[in-house]
Amino acid sequence: MDSPEEKFVDGYPPSQIASALDSLEQRLTTISDTNRHILLNTSQTRHSVDSRIIANIILRRLEVLNPEVARHFYTKRDVVSDLELRMIRSTTSKLLNDIPSFIAVSYCWHYSNWPLAPSATPIVPGWEISRPMMDAVLGARNHPDEGVWLDKLCIDQEDEADKTTHIASMDTIYRSARRMVILLEDVQLTKEEEEAALAYRAFYADMSKKVEHMGLDEKRKVMKGYFPEREKAYIASGRGSVISEAKSFAMKLLTARWFSRAWCAHESRMHPHRRIDNPLVFCFGSSGVVLSFEFRFIYYLAQYLSENEPGPSNGTLVTAMNDPNPTTITQLYWRLIRLMPGANNNDSLLQHMVHVFSFGCLKKGDLICIALNTAGIPLSYDGHDVGSTEEMIWMASLLGLAAGDLIPLVMTGSKLTLSESNKSFTSWAIHPTQGMVDETVPNPLPNSITAVTREYIELDLMVFTAQPQKPSQVALETAMALIKEHDLVSVARDLLAAADDSVQSVVRLVLGETAALGAAMSVSRTNTDKFLETTLALAIDAGLDWTLALPLVMAQSTREYQHGVIDGTTSLSIEDHLKAAARSILRHFNISSPTEQQLKNMISFLAILLDPRLPMLTTGPRRLPLPSFLGGAAFTPSISNRSYIAIPVVLAHIPALHERAWIIEPFDPTAPPEDPESHFPGPEYTDALRRKAMDVELEDVVPVLDTDYDDRRQPMPRVEKAAWRLRRKNVLFGCPEWDGQEILGRRRAGADENGFLVSKKQRVYGSEDYRWGDIWKAVKMRELDAEREGEMTG
């Protein structure tokens, strides 16, 4: 069902319905309650008693976090019992009010500003589906008694209560259909495109039969080469034009209006795409005959063609993925992925929102309804229009938190810009990057989050008074000597070269490498030198106990990534290098005769530091001193010398791969908006340089620097509902996962012990991070000004 985009008079006159259906030898009937229950029973469990209990819990939590927003939501009761289910049926059916199964039609309503294909002749004027398409739909039934559900006819468009009940049941209806048929009435293929479409459909059918009983590895091998082999045979037979038209067919099909509409995406995501009775896609052939293609064939063809299309450069990848107007096969394939039902039922609500917010929809509020349905959250939305994508994302973040999902607190992306009371501000909430949202992260301490507004989130924080530290000079010199003695840079390079392509490409992306392989390896060595020196020196500063414990900590806190294990094995030469280097490090810690376990742990420690995936956590680590019961130390990127590191107590337990460290500063919400240029060095820096004032510290003349310089922080507020601004989020790794409940139990709120305290009900507002590139550019410009003035004076 596609949402209206222009004024449209709903409903057909009864005489028109009867006339059109009579011409098709069909009738519209209401099925019995018993039959309705049987047809929809498989999906009814999503709105069962248990789901209503869950809905009430979520709604009560939402009322605590934000009562204003909560009033727009209500529990999704079992609407199936109130549903008057109507079906289009054959007039020849001998059954009274029962059907064995039904087909659900997914299509776009007709509007004057939407051009139809030449063959899309209407049944009667104003009818929403053309006669050829309706004939094809009826022909797709597997039994003369099978019903057809089509929203424009099967919902009483003049009855608001009936429409409301059906819209609330839309997920159940599409999930219960035996098959979904998709009508593309704006697509008519040329003769050449039709020939290519039918040829590749045959390729796919033959391939499917060939791999049906094969194992997974065998399937992959056959599927990788099957289409190229068939294409080669076509070209050899002089029919190469068929191959060249395949992309034209795919482009025409995938740019049809249906693929861009939010409610169509909802219907596709709610219907199970089974191997048997896979959804059928209908379009017009060159002569006006309706052609049908299985959805899985379209999906596979798009994937295949995208692999042979030059992809966007690394710098434009995210932009290309998020483009609401895709123009390449690759982009259309990414959009196609978002039309598939979720393979993982544990996807975050924000992931479901990301899947649909690039689709067209008249009312943004409908996207919230769609995301709630596809995520299986048993709440309904009253349709209050949110007005903007940003508002919709913020509301989805709030809903996710109310449902016990912590992803809104750790996901990657830029902060939202929102408006309230005629003012714009930066929110604490994040605009997720397409494809960067993860599975749900359960919240073990829901009461630790006490309020969620557009401007701030109120929650309990673990705040560290220490700042991240660079390596000591002694440790750095020791690390450099060890690296040189055992040629560890070469070992790191060999491990990168031995890693699979996906690891290599991601590492190069993280390190900013865009050159060819040979040049990239050279750049990588330079970066690896510095990274390895820094991480080894920081570990030496952290001490022996921390170093020996790191392998177990990383195994637990990075989980499936398992840093330090490359394809499960390493060569003997690499093992010898690591063993010799491990003994040298242990001797540095005055362990000349290590135990077998100590040596094993130190070898594993080195494997972690040399793992080419480690820079994926951070390319510029610093050491944050921690109390011993929290692990003694952790690594995190450098922050500003005006900031504190804090971790929401609800995030204490999550894996290190998430950005759980919040970089915050004391904040006055009533203060004027921040001027980013106030962070740049002023004229006094030029004056100091011109006067060659050696006693002037850089911290005294440059407002913001990183923590390699002296501390310039404001005193930490230690009261409830203290206000902070959130600059950015960092990863924090090298320390165990913590038990938030235990931390709350053993730490009295506000008590500072060993550089760590718990602050209750802290309000964290959104703000932009410092413009570090502009700050350092301004520093250099001031230095150049001083040099020029010195030359003029001289």
How far does the chain reach from its first CA to its final CA, in angstroms? 78
Tell me how far apart the alpha carbons of residues 168 and 177 are, in angstroms, rounded to a whole number: 16
Helix, strand, or coil here: 713?
Answer: coil
**Residues contacting residue 327 through CB under 8 Å, at least 6 positions apart:** none
What digits encode the pLDDT tens for the residues 364-373?
888 888 889 8
**Tell me, what's the pLDDT at 783?**
80
The CA–CA distances, whole Å, from 187 to 200, 249, 527 equal 18, 10, 52
Q: How confident is the model at residue 129 (pLDDT cuts 50, 70, 90)?
A: confident
Rounded (5°) CA angle 732-737-738: 110
Task: List, for residues 321-333, the tens digit of each pLDDT value.
Answer: 667 678 899 999 9
Query: What is the pTM for the complete model shown?
Result: 0.84
Nearest C-alpha neighbor of 393 from the set 410, 417, 377, 376 = 417
- pLDDT at position 506 is 63
**Residue % of the chain over a pLDDT of 90:** 48
Distance CA 388, CA 420 (A): 13
388 token code pair: 């903007």
pLDDT in tens, 762-772: 999 999 999 99
Are the beta carbons of 71 and 381 closer than 8 angstroms? no
203: left (phi over 0), alpha (psi -120 to 50) or beta: alpha
Percent of the chain residues topping a pLDDT of 70: 85
- Helix or strand or coil: residue 89? strand
Angle, CA 599 vertex, CA 597 and CA 600 arms, to 5°: 65
- Contact criterion met (CB below 8 Å) for 270 and 171: yes
What angle, 0 to 180 degrees and rounded to 10, lies between the N-to-C axes of helices 517-542 and 596-610? 140
Question: What are the φ/ψ torsions at residue 723 (nearest 5 degrees)?
Answer: -105, 135
Q: How far apart are CA 582 and CA 536, in angstroms?
A: 12
* Rg of the Cα atoms in the chain: 31
Give yes or no for a contact between 119 and 76, defined as CB atoms under 8 angstroms apart. no
Distance CA 107, CA 408 (A): 33
Owner of token pair 């929650």: 459
The overall average pLDDT reported for the chain is 84
Provide the pLDDT for residue 343: 60
- Per-residue pLDDT, averaged over 128-151, amounts to 91
pLDDT attached to residue 3: 42
Higher pLDDT, 467 or 21: 467
* Mean pLDDT, residues 76-92 taken together: 82
Per-position DSSP letters for 129-145, written without gaps between them: SBHHHHHHHHHT-SSTT
Residue 390 CA to residue 431 CA, distance in Å, equals 7
Task: Find the mean pLDDT for residues 604-626.
Answer: 88
The per-residue pLDDT for 521 is 31
Q: How many Cα atoms within 13 Å fall on the side-chain side of residue 638? A: 20
DSSP state of 79: G
Residue 30, pLDDT above cutoff 70: yes
CA distance 434 to 320: 10
Tell me the domain boundaries of the chain. 473-621, 629-793
CA torsion angle 529 535 538 544 (round to 10): -120
| Other beta carbons less than 10 A from residue 618's beta carbon | 19
pLDDT at 98: 86
Q: Which amino acid is at 352?
A: H
For the stretch 632-644, pLDDT in tens is 999 999 999 999 9
- Alpha helices, DSSP H only, in 427-498? 473-486, 488-498
List the structure tokens of 105.
């039609």
Q: pLDDT tens across 183-240, in order? A: 999 999 999 999 999 999 999 999 999 888 888 778 878 888 899 999 999 888 888 8
Q: Which two tokens stand for residue 79?
A: 């609407």
pLDDT given for residue 362 in this prediction:
79
Of 347, 461, 341, the closest CA to residue 403 belongs to: 347
The highest-confidence range among 85-89, 171-175, 537-541, by mean pLDDT, is 537-541
* pLDDT of the residue at 170: 87
CB neighbour list of residue 262: distance below 8 Å, 6 or more residues apart: 3, 356, 359, 360, 361, 366, 367, 370
C-alpha 350/C-alpha 109 separation (Å) is: 28
| DSSP string over 531-589 | HHHHHHHHHHHH-HHHHHHHHHHHHHHHGGG-TT-STT---HHHHHHHHHHHHHHHHHT
Is the pLDDT confidence value at 523 over 50? no
How much is the pLDDT for 611?
A: 84
Residue 686 CA: distances (Å) to CA of 193, 676, 697, 788: 68, 19, 13, 11
Tens of pLDDT along 410-424? 987 889 999 887 889
* b (16+ CB within 10 A) / e for 325-343: ebebbbbbbbbbebbeeee
Euclidean distance between CA atoms 726 and 729, whole angstroms: 8
